[in-house]
Chains A and B, each alone.
Chain A
Amino acid sequence: MSQGIDRRNFLRIAGASLGAGALYRVAAALGPEPASRDTARRLAKANGEAVKPFSFVQLSDAHVGFHGPPNPTGTRAFERAVELINRLPEPPDFILFTGDLTHDSEQQDERRARMREFQRIAGGLRVKERHTIPGEHDAGIDGGALYHEVFGDSNYAFDHRGVHFIALDNVSRAKPEVGPERIASLRDDLARYSRTTPIVVFTHRPLFDLRPDWEWFTRDGDAVMKVLSPYENVTVLYGHIHREDVHEVAGCRHLAARSLIFGFPDPGGGGDKKPLPFDAEHPFRNLGARVVRAGPSASPGAATLRIDEVELTLQERSGTEGFQQILRPSTLEG
């Protein structure tokens, strides 16, 4: 492996999956070991910028505006996620939202209202840097026109502390695809970086054939991955499937995040694609977040990103949890 960076361990998952979003912590050199510091120096020399420790959170599929039996609490899980993130002992540097911010509506005005409501809830986050991409519910019906009006670009990139982040829209063309123009611009963008640069792609639909008959795929996902294939440290974060999933192919790890509305069943389980039933005793079951922490690898000189899945639970001040707790009026005075 070039320059001692262990590609397979660039992103390691640990812990049990949980609820409201995914917290990622990147650190090329966490410990005092000379090998870790040497890794950082070599990355800096190769990439022009050393990877400095930082963290971020991934939230996905809030579906603001959805109301139905799979989740009668509406945006409560999203609001709970905001509370949870605000209470993190180490504030993340930024938040990534991987699509389906809102639930589709037939009415344009209602769609806009839902987008504004999303922004209102997200505005409760103390972390002010937020990056979003649309899902098909946000952009599929109008080619992304309203999404662009409210949120801005759906294809862009930015650098953060030595990591190159790429927002990849695979929903605005109505079909599950990125499109040749965007793939070409992706290639041009990546050409500016060395092959060892840590790259994180965030998108909505899976870039591989997870379950094409459930529309859990991207038609030109192979073409996208071909453009990414020369780069040794690529991680793809996505949503859409409303469940945690890890898929590795050709050294690239694809990580799906849980949603903030309801879960879907295991795509390999043989059942139908139907929302998992709501559990009043555990209203946020199957909803979630992922925490990523970087740590020293077992391999000398290697850098790792470690992911801990975080579960969203409803823990009110009384310590009880459950659906009835949400509905019960407060008995506190003052």
Chain B
Amino acid sequence: MRTPCWSWLGALAAAALLAGAAVAATAPEGRVIDVKAKRFEFNPPELQLTAGQPVTLRLTSADVTHGFYQKDLGIDTEISPGRTTEVKFTPVKAGRYTIICDHFCGSGHGNMHLVVVVQ
């Protein structure tokens, strides 16, 4: 007996709910990834992206204002507490990029970064 299509969709939805905080979902605008900032780390600390594929990062802060800066990827924004900031970009060139917090947020600010690996 063939499993109805809606059963598979329901199973997929359940799996997505169980996947955890940094859920990457395929959306018309590209992949959407939640990134949470807090002193002094980004979560997740590393992203694996594909060159040529658009991506949207949804940024939130758990405490204070953080910066989010990577010159080569064209990323330059602030993450303010209490709101979600979206960054849309399409990585073009494979490589390893480091996004930093460039808004001084305390003593551990200097090592607050997120590594983006583009393949």
Contact = CB atoms under 8 A, between A and B. Distances in A.
Given A175-B67, A212-B100, A215-B100, A104 B111 contact: no
B100 A273 contact: no
Chain A interface size band reads 10 to 19
A179 to B, nearest CB: 14
Interface residues of B, number: 15
Contacts of A301: none
A105 to B, nearest CB: 8
Interface string B49-70: 0000000000000000101000
A3 B113 CA distance: 49
Nearest to A213: B98
A104 B103 CA distance: 14
Interface string B9-35: 000000000000000000000000000
Interface in A179-236: 212-215, 219
Contacts, number: 37
B44 interface: no
Contacts of B104: 136, 140-141, 171, 174-175
Given A136-B109, A213-B113, A273-B111, A174 B103 contact: yes
A176 interface: yes
7 contacts: A103-B107, A174-B65, A174-B67, A176-B102, A212-B100, A214-B110, A215-B100
Interface of B: 65, 67, 71, 98, 100, 102-107, 109-111, 113
Given A174-B104, A213-B113, 20 more contacts: A103-B107, A104-B107, A136-B109, A137-B107, A140-B104, A140-B109, A141-B106, A171-B104, A174-B65, A174-B103, A175-B67, A175-B102, A175-B103, A175-B104, A214-B100, A214-B110, A215-B100, A215-B102, A215-B109, A273-B111
Interface of A: 103-106, 136-137, 140-141, 171, 174-176, 212-215, 219, 273
Closest 6 CB pairs of A and B: A140-B104, A213-B98, A104-B107, A136-B104, A174-B104, A174-B103
